[in-house]
Amino acid sequence: QSALTQPATVSGSPGQSITISCTGAYNDFAFYNYHNYVSWYQQHPGKAPKLMIYEISNRPSGVSPRFSGSRSGNTASLTISGLQAEDEADYYCSSYTTSSTYVFGTGTKVTVL
């Protein structure tokens, strides 16, 4: 199972919006039990990952509404609006596959200029 493809780096100035893409093959994004299980994680250096988005576009309780997710075909996207210094971190997408396994993306380092 190959990793999903993400850009290595994305940068933006404070207040701007940025979008991180996550591309895979058709069977990487399984439609399972009437759900699309695509999720996004934020990881600061030396810390554990944190769930930011699940089922393509849902935010867990406590996650800022500045984070939003979407999907078109074989590409999922994470958008961060109103970029803030604290958003500087690594971001990973993940999907549940038709093989009943999970696959992560290659990871994207977000830099706030």
Partner 1 sequence: EVQLVESGGGLVKPGGSLRLSCGASGLTFSDAWMIWVRQAPGKGLEWVGRIKSKADGETTGYSAPVEGRFTISRDDSKNTLFLQMTSLETEDTGIYYCSTERAGAMDHWGQGTLVTVSS
Give the footprint of partner 1 on this chain (CB under 8 A): 1, 3, 32, 35-39, 41, 43, 48-51, 54-55, 58, 60, 92, 94, 96, 100-107
- Contact call for residues 63 and 72 (beta carbons, < 8 A): no
* Number of Cβ atoms within 10 Å of the Cβ of 61: 4
In sequence order, what DSSP letters do the residues of 81-98 get, joined into one string?
-S--GGG-EEEEEEEE-T
Closest separation in Å from C-beta 22 to partner 1: 12
At residue 1, the 3 state secondary structure works out as coil
Shortest CB 64 distance to partner 1, Å: 16
- Give 79 or 106: the residue with its C-beta nearer to partner 1: 106
In terms of CB distance, is 17 or 31 closer to partner 1? Answer: 31
